[in-house]
């Protein structure tokens, strides 16, 4: 019986190693670290701009930038790998596990939900519509950005972890979630409705951690090629 069991376990290990090979160069960690740092800078900029309309424009622009990044990053990764990595390692198109795909879908659902909640909140605050919000929503608004950003980050990295079983992705995800919860708590304790600087700090921490894990991995990988 143990021979068959070893067989199956080895097959599962091979599949995981194959999926992990897409991430072994550290390129995606470097790119996501760069994205988080860019988002941190964007939020910090929003905090210091005095013009309210420009601030609102930048907030909407933030989501547009995220969508553009999501679409273009796949092309950038592919182009870079095609030129520098695949000639040495061979080419493979990755396949995510079903569990990972479901978790990624959940991330998109949460992003859309967050955008709807932001819109409702802004309508409510403007006082120009008859939008009525339940009491808990008003209390939760302080938690919203911190919790949602933390959740996005956790779920995205968790989806990768489910596919390839590498602990560093789970650690980054947990770091993101903890940062989000801590930020949300700070917002509530100091009675700040929404502090962009706190969100910028969360994103900055995750960005720095991603870059610190991604860059050495990328350099090590390049040396090995």
Partner 1 sequence: MSKKVVYERIGNINKLIHEPSRLLIVSILSGVKEADFTFLLRMSGLTRGNLSVHLSKLEEAGYVNVNKRFVNKIPNTVYNLTKEGRKAFANYLKNMEEIIKGKKKEKEKEKGNEN
Interaction site with partner 1 (CB under 8 A): 1, 4-5, 7-8, 11, 14-19, 21, 82, 86, 89-95
| 30, 211 Cβ separation under 8 angstroms | yes
Which residue in 212, 137, 147 sits closest to 183, CA to CA? Answer: 147
Quote the least distance from Cβ 28 to partner 1, whole Å: 16
Quote the least distance from Cβ 26 to partner 1, whole Å: 18
Quote the least distance from Cβ 86 to partner 1, whole Å: 8
Tokens representing residue 124 in the block? 């409510």
Query: Which H or E run contains 208?
Result: helix 196-224
For partner 1, which is the closer residue by CB, 17 or 47? Answer: 17
| 199, 45 Cβ separation under 8 angstroms | no
Quote the least distance from Cβ 219 to partner 1, whole Å: 20
In angstroms, rounded to a whole number, what is the distance separating the alpha carbons of residues 206 and 128?
Answer: 37
Quote the least distance from Cβ 102 to partner 1, whole Å: 18
Task: Check residue 71 and give left, alpha or beta (phi > 0: left; psi -120 to 50: alpha).
Answer: alpha
In angstroms, rounded to a whole number, what is the distance separating the alpha carbons of residues 84 and 33?
Answer: 20
What number of residues does the chain have? Answer: 225
Quote the least distance from Cβ 5 to partner 1, whole Å: 5
For partner 1, which is the closer residue by CB, 1 or 52? Answer: 1
For partner 1, which is the closer residue by CB, 24 or 29? Answer: 24
Neighbours of 86 (CB within 10 A): 13
Neighbours of 180 (CB within 10 A): 26
For partner 1, which is the closer residue by CB, 95 or 122? Answer: 95
For partner 1, which is the closer residue by CB, 73 or 89? Answer: 89
In angstroms, rounded to a whole number, what is the distance separating the alpha carbons of residues 213 and 169?
Answer: 10
For partner 1, which is the closer residue by CB, 62 or 86? Answer: 86
């Amino acid at each position: 019986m143990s021979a068959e069991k070893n067989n199956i376990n080895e097959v599962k290990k091979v599949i995981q190693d194959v999926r992990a090979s897409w991430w072994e160069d550290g390129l995606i960690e470097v790119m996501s670290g760069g994205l988080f740092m860019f988002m941190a800078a964007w939020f910090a900029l929003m905090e210091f701009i005095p013009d309210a309309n420009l601030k609102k424009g930048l907030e909407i622009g933030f989501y547009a930038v995220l969508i553009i990044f999501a679409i273009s990053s796949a092309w950038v990764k592919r182009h870079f790998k095609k030129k520098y990595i695949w000639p040495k390692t061979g080419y493979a198109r990755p396949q995510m596990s079903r569990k990972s795909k479901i978790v990624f879908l959940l991330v998109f659902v949460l992003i859309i939900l967050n955008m709807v909640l932001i819109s409702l909140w802004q309508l409510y605050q403007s006082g120009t519509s008859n939008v009525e919000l339940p009491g808990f929503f008003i209390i939760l608004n302080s938690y919203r950005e911190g919790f949602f950003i933390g959740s996005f980050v956790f779920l995205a990295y968790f989806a990768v972890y489910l596919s390839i079983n590498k602990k560093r992705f789970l650690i980054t995800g947990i770091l993101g979630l903890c940062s989000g919860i801590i930020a949300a708590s700070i917002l509530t304790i100091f009675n700040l409705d929404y502090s962009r600087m706190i969100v910028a700090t969360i994103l900055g921490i995750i960005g720095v951690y991603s870059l610190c894990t991604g860059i050495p991995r990328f350099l090590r990988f390049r040396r090995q090629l």
